[in-house]
């Protein structure tokens, strides 16, 4: 009754193609933005930033990136961890080589470098599809991790083989390094996530997005109506890797502060981000955020319940937590294989009629 498009008339194609055509959705979106930008930065503490919000935002960016490649363009990738490593090492090399340039520019450049690497590893997609492509991207994952371990130039010949982010400031506030405050970390990630989500939405609703989806749904038909598969697939790899590179750069520089490539960007990361988009919903911007929230929040929640409330020993809780998260994923996929985004859409369709049955 309250939530519906009736009475919300559109008089131009511009209005009709907007992101939130229903008024209530639009208000909800503005309200979330107002809270995220206007309230949370003033009340956030270290625990909420480090355990919940910062990893959520960073993984949401990575999930957006993988969703563009896998959900929209239909190209399966298991190289996410490797591409995040490219972003992280790129930003590290840039930060240490050009200390006077703004860290924000370095993060964007790291995204650009990752995009170039992504295109390179996307070339096999022109010949192979599906599982075979997944295996090819898996090769990228192992190769990149091996490369960053093996060549000391990448970690500036440090004795531990780790990379450590030096302190860099934006407008006088530290955003990397040990002195960074919680609101600064949060705001950098929030601005990046907001801008990239807006970018992803624009790209996917326009002609480039339609070309990606055409390739995903039926590549031969797409080619016959005029989609150049080379450009469509490689542009998906480029844009996707740009997002993932930025996520990797933020994860290392803002969140972790120091990283060892095998540990921070191993194959586990690739699977984690893949789970996020499958649970969140393939081919959905909302799904990328929902999936990231699920995978970041669920372990935190379980830990709080098991250790905090039930007083279980920490190591037992950690193992049980893995089992519960795994079981939840399986259950979830059986109940709703199209993910949280689909559940959300179904809820909205129900809401349009509520409280009437028809």
Partner 1 sequence: MMQAHEGYVTDDGRQIGGTVMELKNITLRFGGVVAIKDISFDIRQGEIRAIIGPNGAGKSSMLNVISGFYNPQEGEVWFKGYRRGPMKPYQVARLGIARTFQNIALFDGMSVLDNIMTGRLNKMKAGFLSQAMWWGAAEREENENREAVEKIIDFLEIQNIRKTPVGRLPYGLKKRVELARALAAEPQLLLLDEPMAGMNVEEKEDMSRFILDVNDEFGTTICLIEHDMGVVMDLSDRVVVMDYGRKIGDGTPDQVRSNQDVIDAYLGVAHD
Q: By C-beta, is 176 or 235 nearer to partner 1?
A: 235
Contacts of 357 (CB under 8 A, 6+ apart): none
3-state DSSP helix/strand/coil % of the chain, to nearest 5: 75, 0, 25
| Spatial contact of 10 and 16, defined as CB atoms under 8 Å apart | yes
Q: By C-beta, is 258 or 351 nearer to partner 1?
A: 351
Minimum distance, C-beta of residue 343 to partner 1, in the bound complex (Å): 16
Q: By C-beta, is 317 or 341 nearer to partner 1?
A: 341
If we measure between CA atoms, which residue out of 120, 53, 133 comes closest to residue 86?
120
Minimum distance, C-beta of residue 12 to partner 1, in the bound complex (Å): 7
Q: By C-beta, is 6 or 225 nearer to partner 1?
A: 225
Minimum distance, C-beta of residue 217 to partner 1, in the bound complex (Å): 4
Where are the strands (E) in 123-223, listed by range? 163-164, 169-170, 173-174
Q: By C-beta, is 224 or 334 nearer to partner 1?
A: 224
Minimum distance, C-beta of residue 19 to partner 1, in the bound complex (Å): 9
DSSP-derived pairing of the beta strands 163-164 and 173-174: unpaired
Minimum distance, C-beta of residue 18 to partner 1, in the bound complex (Å): 10
Q: Across the strands, what pairs with 169?
A: 174
Tokens of residue 39, six digits: 């309230």
Q: By C-beta, is 222 or 261 nearer to partner 1?
A: 222
Minimum distance, C-beta of residue 71 to partner 1, in the bound complex (Å): 10
Q: By C-beta, is 219 or 260 nearer to partner 1?
A: 219
Distance (Å, whole) CA 284 – CA 68? 9
Minimum distance, C-beta of residue 228 to partner 1, in the bound complex (Å): 5
Residues forming contacts to partner 1 in the complex (CB under 8 A) are: 12-14, 17, 199, 202-203, 205-208, 210-211, 213-214, 216-218, 220-229, 235, 283
Q: By C-beta, is 228 or 263 nearer to partner 1?
A: 228
If we measure between CA atoms, which residue out of 191, 195, 201 comes closest to residue 67?
201
User: Coil, helix or strand for 16?
Assistant: helix
Minimum distance, C-beta of residue 65 to partner 1, in the bound complex (Å): 14
Backbone CA torsion sign across 261, 267, 270, 276? negative
* Integer Rg of the chain from CA: 21
Q: C-alpha dihedral over 184, 199, 141, 77, to 10 degrees?
A: 140
Where are the strands (E) in 131-203, listed by range? 163-164, 169-170, 173-174
């Amino acid at each position: 009754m309250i939530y519906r498009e009736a009475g919300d008339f559109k008089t131009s194609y511009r209005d009709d193609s907007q992101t939130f055509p229903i008024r209530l959705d639009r208000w909800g979106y503005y309200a979330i933005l107002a809270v995220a930008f206007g309230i949370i930065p003033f009340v956030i503490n270290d625990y909420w930033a480090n355990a919940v919000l910062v990893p959520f935002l960073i993984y949401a960016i990575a999930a957006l990136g993988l969703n563009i490649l896998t959900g929209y363009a239909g190209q399966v990738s298991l190289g996410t961890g490797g591409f995040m490593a490219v972003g992280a090492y790129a930003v590290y090399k840039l930060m240490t080589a050009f200390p006077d340039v703004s860290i924000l520019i370095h993060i964007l450049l790291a995204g650009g470098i990752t995009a170039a690497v992504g295109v390179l590893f996307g070339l096999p997609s022109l010949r192979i599809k599906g599982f075979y492509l997944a295996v090819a991207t898996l090769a990228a994952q192992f190769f990149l991790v091996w490369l960053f371990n093996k060549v000391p130039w990448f970690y500036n010949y440090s004795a531990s083989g780790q990379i450590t982010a030096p302190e860099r400031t934006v407008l006088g506030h530290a955003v990397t390094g040990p002195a960074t405050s919680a609101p600064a970390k949060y705001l950098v990630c929030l601005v990046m996530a907001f801008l990239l989500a807006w970018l992803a939405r624009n790209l996917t609703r326009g002609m480039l997005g339609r070309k990606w989806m055409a390739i995903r749904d039926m590549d031969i038909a797409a080619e016959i109506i005029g989609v150049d598969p080379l450009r469509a697939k490689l542009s998906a790899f480029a844009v996707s890797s740009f997002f993932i590179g930025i996520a990797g750069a933020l994860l290392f520089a803002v969140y972790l502060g120091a990283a060892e490539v095998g540990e921070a960007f191993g194959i586990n990361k690739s699977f984690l981000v893949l789970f996020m988009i499958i649970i969140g919903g393939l081919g959905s911007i909302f799904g990328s955020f929902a999936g990231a929230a699920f995978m970041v929040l669920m372990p935190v929640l379980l830990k709080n319940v098991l250790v905090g409330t039930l007083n279980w020993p920490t190591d037992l809780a950690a193992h049980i937590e893995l089992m519960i998260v795994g079981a939840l994923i399986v259950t979830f996929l059986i109940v709703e294989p199209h993910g949280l985004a689909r559940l959300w859409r179904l809820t909205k369709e129900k809401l349009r009629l509520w409280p009437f049955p028809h």
